[in-house]
Amino acid sequence: MSNPKGPRKTVFRDSGSGQFVTERYANRHPKTTERERVIDPSKRR
C-alpha cells in the first residue's frame, strides 16, 4: 500500500551506468540490464 497510485510503464536501465536503454538492448543483454516498473508521469493527474 505504500506505492503511489497511477498508471505504470516498464523502463529498462543499464546496471553499470544507470542509463536508460531500449527494450531491444535489454533483451539482448539480460545480465547487464534491469527492468523497472515506474509511474508514467505523462498520464498522472
Give the model confidence (pLDDT) of 7-28 as tens digits.
889 999 999 999 999 999 999 9
3 inside domain: no
45 inside domain: no
2 inside domain: no
Question: Per residue, what are the HEC states of the chain?
Answer: CCCCCCCEEEEEEECCCCCEECHHHHHHCCCCEEEEEEECCCCCC
Do residues 10 and 36 make contact, with C-beta atoms less than 8 angstroms apart? Answer: yes
1 inside domain: no
pLDDT higher than 90, residue 45: no
pTM over 0.75: no
44 inside domain: no
How does the average pLDDT of the chain come out, rounded? 87
